[in-house]
Structure 1
Amino acid sequence: MDGRESYEFTWVGKREAIAEAGRPTTKTLRPDLDESVDFENSENVFITGDNLEVLKILQESYLGKIDMIYIDPPYNTGKDFVYSDKFQKTDEELKEEMELLDEDGRQVIGLTKNEKTSARYHSDWLNMMYPRLRLARNLLKDSGVIFISIDDNEQANLKAICDEIFGEENFVANFIWEKTQHFGRQKLNSYNNVDYILCYSKNLYQDSQLKERLVEVVKDEFEDAPLYNNSNNVSILTFPAKTVKFNLVDGEYKQTLDEKYYLLSPVVVRDGWNENEFQLKFKSRWSNSTVQDEIKKGTIFWVKTENFSIRAIYADGKSATEAPRQLILTNQNNASKTLSRFNHRVDTSENATRELKKLLNGDYFSFPKPVSLIKYLISLIYNSNSHINSGYVLDFFGGSATTADAVMQLNAEDGGNRKFILCTLDEAVAEKSAAKEAGYETIDQISRERIRRAAAKIQEEHSELIGKQDFGFKAYKLDSSNFKDVLAHPSQFVQADLFDSVSNIKEGRTGLDLLFQVMLTWGMELSLAIDLEKVAGAEIYDVDQGSLMACFEDEISEEVIRHIAQAQPLRAVFRDSSFANSADKINVSEIFKELSPHTKVKVV
């Protein structure tokens, strides 16, 4: 056997992509009050900036806290690639790594570049996606799930890197969404009318709730039947009148002379032709002991009347064994019966475009995803039969903000308390576009406006929810650190710089800027409530009712310090330049030792 051969999935730049996921960021998030809606009270988050840096920033605050991630990344069609990370190779570096250059640096004769099939074409996309997915996995709960939309261009490569990052054992499904029923473009003797949605769990086999929500117990189809539960936890099913004629012979149900169905007493089946109740026995794919145990728990059984295969809905309130079909059909011409139990109509891409155009009064986005599709995916995790209808939904390719719209709509429908975290680039709109003519300069401006209008529409349709549901969001922008670079060597300073070094805070940065950077450093969530009070003329921030208190005034009196210490917060933060000398800093430490010895005090 040749020891040089092995099974692996690799590409040029992979090692650097892996290393990039582990590199720390020097960036921070600055609050944007002007772009926010109900900043003081909202727990939703909208972030503008490169999602690679944003995902790194969120690692401490949201590690293992995200319930669901949905992303719709660039499909790498050759036209929509917009992310260009600093670790990607130049053309010459790529050729050298791929041994396409000879010893003198000339391109090897006979090898030419093909943009759709060259290694660079796919490698750039993989180098973009790999570190982002690694970081995203860290943010998921053990029960968390990620959905990724993709098309044929990179579907195979995406599955390969997801198998590596999430593990093949955590692959849930590759859903196929019928995005259009207008077959206008033929491709390789077939019509391109579907997109794929890859689904992976953070830890499928250790999360029983997720298995119960997404894994089918019995795969056979079944007829809808009204279900009833009596006080003795006996499952009673009423069959449609014209389904199967019941023949009872010696206490057994017989459909033909050769077919017998056994088991399942005390399940009671009510005949559709009369009101008599019979103790029927029929064959199950579960063992007798398993069935009896489930009956004792109060499990309800659906029975397919033609061959008596069974399907169960558990009585624990946490799960339903009706699994989602891999094919997600649109609802045109009654095409999708499979989604009726989830009460969500999945639209086509054309419908999504029309709806968004109507909402924004303009055609500003190409091929947005339907809100109904994202609602359907969310419903697979936040099932109506489940007690889970809160938590975080993250979308770090936020685009047209469909995910935010879907979260708000679903909360309005079922009274949920899900929170969205969206991130998108401040990519400039095209110069000659409807968005530019309407006054929009960047994509994120349109995204935020879509959220505002979607929230207003829901409140108009559901006035009873005003003041009860979160329709706002905290807006943030990715920026450089609020602190100056203090790691410079002394020889790098000139005399004029020495006065500038008195404060380590950059010009134009506010106390709120500093507060959020400190919160992120300490792993605190961006959605936490912040109260502001004034004591002796100084502004004091109180995060999450004493989890963190901070004051960043130019001068801080002992009265202010004692006020904060008497509140006994878990953490307290002050600005270094607020104190004239080291003696003042020592005094702060002594005051907290006296009044609140358990408070962790930090000077930045």
Structure 2
Amino acid sequence: MPIEKIESNAPLAQSADIRADNIAKLKALFPELLTEGSGGAAINVDVLKALVGDATATDADEKYGLNWHGKRRARQLALTPSTGTLRPCPDESVDWDTTQNLMIEGDNLEVLKLLQKSYSGKVKLIYIDPPYNTGKDFVYPDNFQDNIKNYLELTGQVEGGAKISSNTESSGRFHTDWLNMMYPRLKLARNLLREDGVIFLSIDDQEIAHLRSMCDEIFGPENLIAEMVWEGANKNDARQVGVCHEYVLAYAKNREQVPSDWGLKKEGVEPILHEVKRLRKVHITNFQGASDDLAGWFRAMKATPSFAHRRYKFIDARGAYKEENPTAPGGRRFDLINRRTGSVIRLRPNRGWGFDQAEFDRLVAEERVTFVTETSVMIRLYLHETDSMTPQSVFYQPARSASERLGRLMEGDVFDFPKDEDVICKLVEMATRSDDDKCIVMDFFAGSGTTAHAAMNQNSADSGRRQYVVVQLPEPLNPTDKEQKVAANYCDQLGKPRNIAELTKERLRRAAIKIRAASARNTRATGQLALEEAPAAPAKPLDLGFRVFKLDSSNIRAWQPTGDLAQDLVDNMQHLMEGRTDQDVLYELLLKLGLDLCVPIEARQIAGKSVHSIGGGVLLACLDAHIGVADAEALALGMAAWHKEQAPEGDSTAVFRDSAFENDVAKSNLAAILEQHGIKQVRSL
């Protein structure tokens, strides 16, 4: 069996080909829809009209929706595969060997393309705070022909190309440039969402109308969950009206798959529950004594959020509760019977009961009713059963507080307008579950790293297992620009390159240290209570690390003629780019084969060669520089034995360096032995 060589233009060397996938789906549904065109498979529009009915066909010029110059190109840009890769950077990472979190440095359009195979349909929540298009912020100028080269030039990693600049209103394409930047990114983002996934998008009034129309088209208007209003602070330069809010749009991939009830923990509840637990251990069954002490505790907590819940001042065997009148205006009017005495319980004028007789009898049986008199009752509402609330579409969080906290964390004001991690925490709490082992939170406009910080905070608060994936452009910082001088100098103090991605990574490192210290304090504070309880199962360690990857051109050399044919042929005998490591190549294989970037990788020496097993044998790779005829059999048999030992589900792939084989005999012998032992997909680079 010949070994298939992976060329730079081969499907395995590129990100997911969404266009080809779409055509394959159409072909499976309607084989007659496809015909041959000059560029290969083409859609027969006349057949399409016949299939859906002419009555549903609409003239594009008369169609309702948002249109702008370049929209067709923006749509094509989302479908164009990327030829780039993500290079691992363990030295810049935290807890590389154990973490499941990713911090990716690069152009988010290319990164989103590269993540399509590995993360399609796996992301639970996306939060983005994109450029608001105020005229001062940078809007990515994508290059349809070679966006990797464009990215490297923009970020100063290679010479030439355009420099990063703001999108000013005088450009003549003010809204158009912004729409062309956002559209392909949102198209790709939707592919990454789980069926029950949601996306939150922050924006102000400059582009809210355009963004909502665009999201209606991409996600469907039926999947709009809410348009929330975030009240922050007034602008001092206001003329007619002081704008003190911005927006958060929430869309689902499939709203029917999203839980019907989202809840937020009421602030200040957790300390009360801890105190109730302590008092019940002290007073045992003396509920009156426990209630008296709880009322005293509330009086001492006047300056805290817990004081707002002071009506939950009674304790019984279930926990803390408050007593509520069970009647309301417009309730059900009937004679409610006290089954113990047979007497009718009085109903106040112009009121009605909030339950029927059967429900009342159940509450009595569960001891949730307090009989003030034989004909007067109150209902017990327990704090632990009412500790969450439905999120409101309008909320207040002062904008300045996030800047102040981040300034203290970073020991410097390196970001002007960071998003508030407390607000993002609430969004994470609303839309995710703490016990979801495969919950990925993503932000591809990471900025200061607020979303990753919020995900770690929420995991610490509820012992969650969320993973984060954040992407940030290494946008250069100019020390001569007064608005960037502080941030540029900060990078100099760290000994890091002057770009925003370095600030993102530093924020995540510092946030992890702070969260770890707070978690240790909380553990010590609750340790005594834990000792008195039955031993619990050990909690999964809090993941506060992250793996750093950087966008770059593919490790697989593309044919780039210079005019010197003889030299070009010599250069291309080596199919891997000079200066790339085995680890670089391994992670490109993970991306192109659709494996998670945090999947386990093991290494063994087999026949004197270094062999890597990825994902429990799903991928076997030997990238040694020389495989002779004498080595081939022993290497193949050793790899086959390791593959059998791991017994992976499904087909496995084996990959080798093409230039490593001494000759075709070594290559064909190795491939034949692997095929005999069930490894039929053998590739070379």
What TM-score, normalized by structure 2, do the two folds share?
A: 0.68
Match of 1:239, SS state, is strand
Give secondary structure in 2 for the equivalent of 1:153. coil
Render the CA deviation track for 1:130-170: whole Å, top value 9, x for unaligned.
Answer: 00000000000000000111111111111010000000000
Please state how far the C-alpha of 1:119 moved relative to its aligned partner.
6.4
Matched, 1:479 2:536: no
Is 1:435–2:487 an aligned residue pair? yes
Structure 2: state its 5+ residue gaps: 1-57, 146-166, 265-308, 338-343, 524-537
Distance change in 2, residues 1:362/1:326 (3 Å): same
Question: Which residue of the partner structure matches residue 80 of structure 2?
Answer: 23
Pairing 1:37–2:94 present: yes
Residue 55 to residue 275, structure 1, CA distance change in 2 (3 Å): farther
User: 1:193 maps to what in 2?
Assistant: 244
* 1:237 to 1:443, Cα distance in 2 relative to 1, 3 A: closer
1:138 aligns with 2:219: no
Q: How does 1:587-598 map to 2 (within 5 A)?
A: 587-594=669-676, 596-598=677-679
Partner of 1:363: 413
| Structural mapping, 1:375-394, within 5 Å | 375-383=425-433, 387-388=435-436, 390-394=438-442
The residue number in structure 1 matching 2:178 is 125
How far, CA to CA, are the matches of 2:447 and 2:597 in structure 1?
A: 21
Measure, in 1, the Cα distance between the counterparts of 2:244 and 2:97: 44
SS in 1 for 2:439: strand
CA distance in 2 between partners of 1:375 and 1:227 (Å): 31
1:10: which partner in 2? 67
Please state whether the residue corresponding to 2:466 is helix, strand or coil: strand
Question: What is the alpha-carbon distance in structure 1 between the residues aligned to residue 133 and residue 311 of structure 2?
Answer: 42
User: Amino acid of the residue matched to residue 513 of structure 1?
Assistant: D
Q: Cα gap change, 1:178/1:276 in structure 2, threshold over 3 Å: closer, same or farther?
A: farther
Percent identical residues: 36
Q: Equivalent residue for 1:274?
A: 372
Residue 497 of structure 1: how far off its partner (Å): 2.2
Q: Residue 340 of structure 2 corresponds to which residue in structure 1? A: none
- Alpha-carbon distance in 2 for matches of 1:301, 1:389: 32
- The match for 2:323 is 239
For residue 218 of structure 2, what is the aligned residue in structure 1? 165
- Partner in structure 2 of residue 265 of structure 1: 358
Counterpart of 1:425 in structure 2: which amino acid? L
Q: Choose from 450, 453, 468 the match for 2:507.
A: 450
Q: Does 1:412 align with 2:460?
A: yes
Name the CA shift for 1:302/1:197 in 2 (closer, same or farther; >3 Å).
farther
Q: Within 1, Cα distance between the matches of 2:87 and 2:382?
A: 53
Alignment correspondent of 1:525: 596
What corresponds to 1:515 in structure 2? 586
TM-aligned CA deviation for residue 600 of structure 1: 2.7
Task: Give 1:560 deviation, angstroms.
Answer: 2.9
Indicate the SS of the match to 1:503: coil
Change (3 A) 1:493 1:467: farther
Does the CA-based 8 Å contact 1:548-1:571 persist in structure 2?
Answer: yes
RMSD over aligned Cα atoms: 3.8
Who is 2:279 aligned against?
Answer: none
Distance apart, 1:20 and its partner CA? 0.7
Task: Identify the structure with the greater helix proportion.
Answer: 2
Alignment check: 8 A CA contact 2:136 2:168 kept? no
CA distance in 1, matches of 2:88, 2:471: 14
Deviations 1:55-101 (A, max 9, x none): 0000000000001001110000000124111259xxxxxxxxxxxxx
Asked if structure 1 preserves the Cα contact closer than 8 Å seen for 2:201 and 2:249, the reply is yes
2-structure distance, mates of 1:479, 1:399: 20
What is the one-letter code of the residue matched to 1:515? L
Matched, 1:212 2:283: no
Aligned partners of 1:186 and 1:192 also within 8 Å: no
Distance of 2:668 and 2:375 partners within structure 1 = 83
Q: Which runs of 5+ in 1 are unaligned?
A: 89-113, 216-221, 282-299, 304-311, 314-319, 331-347
Match of 1:328 in 2: 395
1:393 counterpart letter in structure 2: V
Which amino acid letter does the alignment assign opposite residue 168 of structure 1?
A: P
2:483 is equivalent to residue 421 of structure 1? no
Render the CA deviation track for 1:271-303: whole Å, top value 9, x for unaligned. 55638798999xxxxxxxxxxxxxxxxxx9999
Cα distance in 1, alignment partners of residues 546 and 133 from structure 2:
31
Letter of the 1:15 counterpart: R
AA aligned opposite 1:564: M
Once the 2 structures are TM-superposed, how far is the Cα of residue 192 of structure 1 from its aligned partner? Answer: 2.0
Deviations 1:531-569 (A, max 9, x none): 233334422222122222211010133333322121126
Provide, for residues 8-51 of structure 1, a one-character-per-residue CA deviation record: whole Å limited to 9, x for no partner: 21011111111111111111111112211222221111111100
Q: Distance in 1 between matches of 2:139 and 2:176?
A: 14
Secondary structure of 2:90 counterpart: coil
Q: 1:562 — aligned with what?
A: 637
Give the match for residue 55 of structure 2.
Answer: none
Amino acid at match of 1:70: Y
Equivalent residues, number: 511
For residues 311-326 of structure 1, the aligned pairs below 5 Å read 322-326=389-393
CA–CA separation in structure 2 for the residues paired with 1:264 and 1:477: 65
Q: Distance in 2 between matches of 1:576 and 1:42?
A: 32
Give the direction of change, closer, same or farther, for the CA distance of 1:279–1:59 in structure 2 (3 Å limit).
same
How big is the shift at 1:351?
1.2
**Cα displacement (A) at 1:467:** 8.8
Supply the distance in 2 between the matched residues of 1:174 and 1:572 (Cα, whole angstroms).
49
Q: What is the distance in 2 between the residues matched to 1:55 and 1:227?
A: 53
